[in-house]
Amino acid sequence: MRRAQDHVGLLVRSAAERVAGFLLALANREGNATEVVLPMPRQDIADYLGLTIETVSRTLTQLENAATIALPSARHVVLRNATALRGLIR
């Protein structure tokens, strides 16, 4: 039930907030890991977050350019600055 409530909360946020929240949720499931493997392709992430695939890709690139995350591969994300990610979420 808690996850469903969190997911509904994601849908009223900006794209950056949604993507940051998604990445942090994945990290939390792994015990606050600093590296996560995306469990689905970007199109599915976009659908899950209520965004377009272009917006998800653009947001990930913006986070990478800001040195908040690193994207060594399409499915592997390194959280370089989890504090900055948390700061994006209202």
Statement: the pTM of the whole predicted model exceeds 0.85: no
The secondary structure of the chain as a DSSP string is -HHHHHHHHHTTS-HHHHHHHHHHHHHHHTTS-SEEE-SS-HHHHHHHHT--HHHHHHHHHHHHHTTSEEEEETTEEEES-HHHHHHH--
pLDDT digits (tens, 9 = 90+) for 36-62: 999 899 999 999 999 999 999 999 999
pLDDT digits (tens, 9 = 90+) for 12-28: 679 999 999 999 999 99
Topology of domain 2-88 in CATH is Arc Repressor Mutant, subunit A (1.10.10)
